[in-house]
Homo-oligomer: A and B are copies of this chain.
Amino acid sequence: MGSLTGGDPSLLRKINSAVVLRALREAEPSCSLTDLARVTGLSRPTVEGVLEGLGEAGLVAETGAAGERRPGRPARRFRFRAEAGRLLGVEVGPRRVAAVLGDLSGRRLGTVAHDVDTAAPAAERLAKLDAVVAELLEGNAVDAGTLRAVGVGSPGIVAADGTVRLCTALPGWTGLPLGARLRESFGCPVLVENDANAAVLAERWVGAAVGADDVVMVLAGLSPGAGSLIGGRLHRGHGGAAGEIGALHLLGRQARPERLLSTSDEPLVPLDEQAVARVFAAARAGDRRAGDAVARFVERLVHDVAALVLALDPELVVIGGWAAGLDGVVEPVRRELARYCLRTPRVVASALGGAAVATGALRLALDRVEAELFAVPGRDLSAP
């Protein structure tokens, strides 16, 4: 049994550096040297030494002693340079490729989205991704070399290294080494995650699930998927396939959404947000076939959500995907769940809507950078 650092001075420096940097970020916009020493419990000379190193690394800047008029020498003030690096959150979906730019504090600085054909082959979708990112970086005058981490949300089962194990929604996506491909082009860490998993992280970060630890988010779309948080952490499942609920409908002998939402004898193609919104509007206006279509759609959604809720018992269900923007979806889901579940969770619509997946991908990139900059290296306690 010994001290936490085992007397290793470089480890001690790393700990002190992380502690000071975290204190600075929490004290945004800036913090005095005196306060830093007080908050961190470190001596003033130690803090000064740490700040010097962080300044050389470009992560900290000294600011003017704004607003302080006291006798004696002016208080030195410092701030975390969130602009020292950039982060990207990218969504690669069946119909759309989008990217959001962030700084090292997770502030969102801009976004770009382009449509893509659902039938587009993988090369075309990847080229679209490159184009979206190039436009976003150029529009914000950001050098690609300043990217510290990139998060990506995409449908399907994704391996830890970012390889797409299985994806039925995007042509040519199964087997794609997406992580490796993007690490090469970005030259920084790239985290690839299932789209619904990214979306639930986003809702918990800045959306409808802030403060909730046990959350199920359903992305209702062409091929529905779900992302779950258990105890505040993503539940990916043993093989990364948790929440891949597309097959539930086969079990219920129900048709694909193009048929469910059709108001004629033909499937509703293309099935996009506008088309679905028109069906919902027609139902509200009293159209009988549209009303039936909406009822079928809601019944199916209830079935999906109920299966997840009965299996997982979350505190909160977030309805996302294009269903989130539709009036009259959340209330029936809420009502039906109360009938079927022994313990009924709260049900809310996504607060982020179409931005959820890219925002969650940005959160993944931010997590990566935070682990790098702010984490205090711990040591396992072992028995004596």
- Interface of A toward B, CB cutoff 8 Å: 1-5, 15-16, 19, 41-42, 157, 165-166, 168, 213-214, 226, 228, 230, 235-248, 250-252, 302-303, 306-308, 310-315, 339-343, 345, 376, 378-379, 381, 383-384
Contact = CB atoms under 8 A, between A and B. Distances in A.
A306 to B, nearest CB: 5
A242 B313 contact: yes
A343 B239 contact: yes
B306 A251 contact: yes
A247 B311 contact: no
A311 to B, nearest CB: 4
Interface SS, A side: loop
Given A244-B342, A313-B244, A384 B19 contact: yes
A15 to B, nearest CB: 7
Given A242-B311, A307-B310, A341 B247 contact: yes
A100 to B, nearest CB: 28
A341 B240 CA distance: 12
A313 B238 contact: yes
A168 B340 CA distance: 13
Nearest to A316: B238
A312 B311 contact: yes
Given A157-B342, A166-B343, A248-B306, A383 B311 contact: no
B15 A302 contact: no
A251 B303 contact: yes
B311 A226 contact: yes
B251 A19 contact: no
A108 B94 CA distance: 56
7 contacts: A15-B384, A238-B313, A240-B343, A247-B306, A250-B339, A307-B307, A378-B381
Contacts of A228: 311
Contact of A315 (B236, B238, B384): B238
Contacts of A376: 383
A310 B235 contact: no
A255 to B, nearest CB: 15
B247 A313 contact: no
Contacts of A340: 247, 250-251
Contacts of A246: 342
A314 B339 CA distance: 27
A315 B237 CA distance: 8
A313 B236 contact: yes
Q: Taking each of A213, A242, A302, A308, which has the highest tally of chain B beta carbons within 10 Å of its own beta carbon?
A: A242
A248 B310 contact: yes
Contacts of A308: 311
A290 B55 CA distance: 79
Contacts of A306: 247-248, 251
Contacts of A245: 310-311
The 9 residue pairs across chains A and B that have the minimum distance between CB atoms: A237-B313, A307-B307, A311-B311, A242-B313, A241-B343, A247-B340, A214-B238, A239-B343, A238-B315
Contact of A248 (B247, B307, B312, B339): B307
A381 B383 contact: no
Contacts of A252: 251-252, 303
Contacts of A241: 310, 313, 341-343
A341 B251 CA distance: 11
